[in-house]
Amino acid sequence: MSNATDGDGADSLDSLDSLNSLIMALPKAELHVHLEGSIVPELALKLAARRGVALPGAERGVEGLREAYRFASFRDFLKVYIALSNTLQQAEDFSDAVFGIAEGLAAQQVRWVEMTFTPMTHVVQGVDPDAMLAGLADGRRRALEQLGIEFAWVFDVVRSLPEQGPQTLELALRARDQGVVALGVGGPEGPQWSVVPLAGVFERAHAEGLKSVPHAGEQHGPPSLRETLDLLAPARIGHGVRCLEDPELTAELADRGIPLEVCPSSNVALGVVPSFTAHPLPQLLAAGVELSLASDDPPLFGTTLTEEYRRCVSAFGWGPEQVLKIAAAAVRHSFMPEDRKRALLAAQRSVAQAHASLP
């Protein structure tokens, strides 16, 4: 079977073209993407103008903002992230943000998205929680009705602000019938930010039937993953790539079948790995770790979900089987109802068969 790195000339170009069209056409699930980090410059300018919010570089329009989206450290990244968060103030802002992001996802044939949202970031800025939840629900409804894309929500707690955990859970439970499926943990990760203070909140979330999908093993290594596994009972882990620093931990993730949401361009942009080609995704697969491919904060990392697939094709020489396998993994690891999973997996197989002469 040919792949993108085989040979040269017309054959490999043909195979790249056909892989590109397979990547675009496959109906997909996206399991790790943040609402606040998905606001493209055009949408950010519109939202900021509406509320008179100053965004870095915005005096030079879309180009200036695009430049501000290129940052040098996790701290700088957080600054842009917080500025984007501040554009969301009233119900229609949340609704328009969700719908605008949904348009970009639908254009990539994403059919199911588990989107992370940090409610307390907004509430502590004075946003009315009822207006915020109403806006999210309205955007989600419009996305489903007009674009056929379904949103489920992961409400997350900032790891360095564990005191916001109980209220985050309370909001998640309040918005359960609007599609909240899980509680997450995001923000800075390091030895000084233990998840011990969040253990009780996650225990209550579990008792209420919410899943746990924390970030861990991104900016900090095995100790963070160990603690997360022991205290938060994760259904999946955001990133988790630094498990490879501890072979036993890697084997445990593989044996327990706890999937990782791997976001390679995010890891490159935030300095977790030196380059896309050096990303340890192939080592994780070789170790038997379950994983899906995701985009995290796509415009901030100069990527999209389909671009992540394309970059894997070019960096790791993936062929159509591997593309399909990874796309199917996202569906299998998702919190979709089982009958819908089966339908989406079948749709993926038939698109792949039509595109790539797969059996």
Q: Give the residue numbers marked as catalytic.
A: 218
Interface of this chain with ligand ADE, residues 217 to 246, rule: CB under 6 A = 218
Residue 221 interface partner, choices ligand ADE, Zn ion, none, CB cut-off 5-8 Å depending on type: none
Of the candidates 119, 165, 186, 221, which one interacts with ligand ADE according to CB under 6 A?
Answer: 186
Q: Which stretch binds Zn ion (CB under 5 A): 61-69, 133-141, 293-301, 349-357?
A: 293-301
Based on CB atoms, which residue is closest to Zn ion, 96 or 296?
296
Max CA-CA distance within the chain? 59
3-state secondary structure of 130: helix
Q: Does position 299 bind ligand ADE by CB under 6 A?
A: no
Residue 333 interface partner, choices Zn ion, ligand ADE, none, CB cut-off 5-8 Å depending on type: none
Least CB distance to ligand ADE at residue 102 (A): 19
Least CB distance to ligand ADE at residue 59 (A): 25
Q: Does position 37 bind ligand ADE by CB under 6 A?
A: yes
User: What does the alpha-carbon distance between residue 328 and residue 72 come to, in Å, rounded to a whole number?
Assistant: 34
Degrees to nearest 5, angle at CA 164 with 43 and 197:
130
Interface of this chain with ligand ADE, residues 258 to 297, rule: CB under 6 A = 266, 270, 296-297
User: What does the alpha-carbon distance between residue 127 and residue 88 come to, in Å, rounded to a whole number?
Assistant: 8
Based on CB atoms, which residue is closest to Zn ion, 57 or 240?
240
Question: Residue 35: which of 48, 44, 25 has the closest Cα?
Answer: 44
Of the candidates 41, 139, 179, 187, which one interacts with ligand ADE according to CB under 6 A?
Answer: 187
Specify which residues 158 forms β-bridges with: 186
Of the candidates 150, 156, 227, 296, which one interacts with Zn ion according to CB under 5 A?
Answer: 296
Judge whether 142 and 99 are in contact, CB under 8 Å: yes
Q: Does position 114 bind Zn ion by CB under 5 A?
A: no
CB burial readout 293-327, b (16+ within 10 A) else e: bbbbbbbbbebbbbbbbbbbbebbebbbebbbebb
Phi-psi region of 152 (alpha: psi -120 to 50; beta: other; left: phi over 0): beta
Least CB distance to ligand ADE at residue 18 (A): 32
Residue 150 interface partner, choices ligand ADE, Zn ion, none, CB cut-off 5-8 Å depending on type: none
Judge whether 188 and 157 are in contact, CB under 8 Å: no
Q: What residue is closest to ligand ADE based on CB?
A: 186
Residue 86 interface partner, choices Zn ion, ligand ADE, none, CB cut-off 5-8 Å depending on type: none
Phi and psi, residue 294, nearest 5°? -145, 170
Residue 250 interface partner, choices ligand ADE, Zn ion, none, CB cut-off 5-8 Å depending on type: none
Based on CB atoms, which residue is closest to ligand ADE, 105 or 270?
270
Based on CB atoms, which residue is closest to ligand ADE, 134 or 294?
294
Phi and psi, residue 34, nearest 5°? -100, 140
Question: DSSP per residue over 260-275, as a string?
Answer: EEE-HHHHHHTTSSS-
Binding residues (CB under 5 A) for Zn ion: these are 296
Binding residues (CB under 6 A) for ligand ADE: these are 34, 37, 186-187, 215, 218, 266, 270, 296-297
